[in-house]
Homo-oligomer: A and B are copies of this chain.
């Protein structure tokens, strides 16, 4: 069964994305910063540690791993395993198909561009 190597980790199908779950994933400040960092990185994707650098947050790696799982299981991010590291990308098209405009609205917040206030 060629379960398409990328499904070594669980990704919920588009139809099963739940709005409240996605919103909850975005609602956590650390996670929102992570999402923005992944968004800035764009298409090839970024590794967890790289994201942590870019997001400018100081948390243990176990916490980081936890947030990644929440983001992935809520359908916000996709995790592609590449060697020893996980490449993270946003599920832009999926999110936009399921909840049109939501991701853009969240990413567009002007306060966060400079990494400003809480």
Contacts and interface: CB of A to CB of B under 8 A. Distances in A.
Q: How many of these chains are in the complex?
A: 2
Contact of A111 (B19, B24, B104): B19
Interface in A84-118: 99-102, 104-106, 108-109, 111-112, 117-118
| A contacts with B: majority SS | helix
Interface residues on A, range: 20 to 34
Interface in A1-53: 18-20, 23-24, 26-29, 32
Contact of A23 (B26, B101, B108, B118): B26
Nearest first, the 9 A-B pairs at minimum CB distance are: A23-B27, A102-B105, A101-B105, A24-B27, A101-B101, A19-B109, A23-B26, A27-B27, A20-B29
